[in-house]
Structures are given as structure tokens and as C-alpha cells.
Amino acid sequence: MNIFSSWSVPTGHLTIIPQSYHMSMWYDRLMIPCRILMLIAGLFFATFSLLGQQTQLPITSYDYALPENNVSPITMGTGAFNLINADDPYAAYANPALMADNQLSSFSLSFRLKNEDDLAFWEAVNISNALKSKQFKYFVLNTKQVSFAYQPVAGVHISEFSASGDSSRYYDYQLDKVQFSIGAKDKKYQKLGAGLSVKYLSGRLVYLTEHKLGSMMVRDGFIDDKVKGVSTDLGFTYTVGNMVYAGSFYDLLSRLWWENYDPVSLQRRSALGMGWTSGDSHFSAGVQSKISKNPDTTYHLGYGYQWNIAKGQQSSDRQSMDLRLGLYSKDFYGADNINYTFGGGYYYKTIRFDFSLNNKGLRLADSEYLFALSLGI
């Protein structure tokens, strides 16, 4: 029997509320902050769960100073190696010490052209500076002993589906470099030259993986991250008569900082070489390798000949043609393991044009071409 059922409560008078109702109100009030705390805790653990499932960076190589990545057709034509030729407008790329012998001011552009199939995803992430088949390669401004350069180090865009069509990958990676180089010689000891390059790098990676679920594509992983970094090269030359001995150390001190991933260092490399001149001919030989337990050494040989069509007392009167030949390999075992290079150039007063061809195993259809135009100022 409800004890309140027989009560008559006039309008406007005090209403008596059961005790159970008060308890229910207090219970609801206590549960509100509890629910808020539970929601915060849920978000907290969900956040940590997402962090624990962070997509791994797909990039597996930061080895940018490979011989085949050289930006100069003059260097590529003579076996993809130049530590001793200061006449190359792109000399600071390979050896900043060569800027000590530069007496001209010029700006130069190089352009890459290669007839190749589109890169697959795993090829792109394992190649240090995958570029498009038609790609601006390098810009450099030289002012006597100082050089300023810009280079698109990596630029690749891949969107592909698996053979079965049930998964996909999207990969877009861009890395650019700005480089400042300077070379000098001791006035009292002109045989020895030294140089330094300081590089600033910046880029961005967008990476997406998905799989098919029914008629929809479901995201497996996603990265949209930016990277910045610095690096340094050191070089030296030592001249004795018509012989030049030289060495360079690439990315000796380096660091790349990702916004959301651990920092990484670039692969360090070293190169040692020598060259000599005889009349209008010049020869070069050298080695380049990683500074690591697995050096991945390459051996280089180069030859160049210059015809002086007209040579005045000033550099602005110069007219000449150049022929260049070279090769390089890790072991020179079999033609398929040897890169053959060829190049040429024409110098007319303050303008010069150079080109090179680089192919492996004499497969001309797979050759990579470099073209360069330089203008003295």
C-alpha cells in the first residue's frame, strides 16, 4: 500500500517527495563526473594505442652521394668521378676544395633525361634519390672561391594497386637541398687546397596504405610528415707539377629531423683520387666508398681531351671542344657490371654546353643523359 496515495495536497502547498527520488538525484550527480573521467581515460588509452600503432617510415636509404647521382655532365663523362678538375662549374658538388682554383663567376643548370619504366614502390624507397625521367637536376652560382647551389635530391610520386586489386599504396616524397661551398689555399703554400660545403635539406613525405573491405578501401597506415636537416662535406687537393691528389668526405656530419619520427643521419662516403695532364689530355683515377662495415666501393677511370679552337689572353676569348670517356665498376667483372660513360662539350667565350651519357653493360636504350648550360658573368 502506498502511504502517499490517500494524501490530498492542495495546489500551491508543499509537495512531499519520496526519499528514493532524492537518492536517485544524488546518484545521477555522482555519476556525471565519473562518466567524464571514464571518457577522458578512454581517450587517453585510445591515444596511446594509436601512438603504439604509428606507421613505420617506408624510406630505407639515405645514401645520397652515390657516383651515379652526380649532377655534372663533365664529371659523368669522365667515369662519374671528379676530384681534380676545377674547370668544371659543378666542381664543388664533388670536391669543395676545387673552388680555391676557380677564378670565374658563372651560373649553370643541368638537366636529367632517362628512358626508363615507372619505378615500383619498393624500388623507390630503396633508391636514395629517385627522380623523374625528365628532371631539372642542379643549379649553381659560382663567384670565384664561393659557390651557392640548389638541388632536388629526391622527387618521386607513386600510386599503385596490388596485382589482385585488393590493396594500394600512395607514396610522395620530396627532398631539396641548398648548398654553400667555399675553397681556399694558403698563400705561403699553394700546393695545398681545402674546402667546405654546408648543406641545408628540407622535404615532405606523404604515405598511405589501404586494403579492400567489401566495396570500400580501408586505411591501414598514413604518414604526412616534414623533415629538415643539415650536412657537411670536406675536401682537399694537393698539387705537384702536373699531378693532383685529392680527397673528399661526403655527409661527414649530418642529421635529418622528422617532425614525428626519430632523427636519422645520412650515409657517409669518402673518395680518393688522382689526376694528371699531358698536353691537351687529362687522366683521372679514383675510388669511392661508404664509411661503414660494408663499403660498397666503386673504382673509376676517366680521360678527357680538349681541342682549343681559339684561345685568347682572356677567358672571355676562349673557344674549345671537349671529348670525355670513362668507366666505373665495383669489380670490373663482366661487361654487365661496368658503367660506361661518354661526354662532350663546347665552350664559346662565356657560354658553354656539356652533355654526358651513362649506361651499364653497353645497353644504350637504358642510358641516362645529362645536359648542362653555363653562362659566365
Phi-psi region of 247 (alpha: psi -120 to 50; beta: other; left: phi over 0): beta
Banded model confidence at residue 346, pLDDT cuts 50, 70, 90: very high
Q: pLDDT for 218-230, tens place per residue?
A: 888 899 999 999 9
Residue type for position 290:
K
Average pLDDT over residues 96-111: 93
Average pLDDT over residues 363-373: 87
Look up residue 183 and give its three cell numbers.
675553397
Number of residues that this document lists for the chain? 377
* Residue 92 CB coordination number (10 Å): 31
Q: In the predicted model, is pLDDT for residue 57 greater than 50?
A: yes
Lowest mean pLDDT among 122-136, 146-160, 308-322: 122-136
Look up residue 64 and give its three cell numbers.
645520397
Segments making up each domain of the chain, as ranges: 1-53, 67-118+127-154+178-197+233-376
Q: In the predicted model, is pLDDT for residue 22 greater than 70?
A: no
Return the SS3 of 349: coil
Prediction pTM value: 0.79
pLDDT of amino acid 213 = 83
Please state, for a pLDDT cut of 90, what percent of the chain lies above it.
54
pLDDT of amino acid 223 = 92
**In whole numbers, what is the pLDDT of the chain averaged over residues?**
84
**What does the DSSP 8-state code read for residue 97?**
G
> Which fold does the domain 67-118+127-154+178-197+233-376 belong to in CATH?
Porin (2.40.160)
DSSP-assigned beta bridge partners for residue 234: 196, 249
pLDDT of amino acid 156 = 82
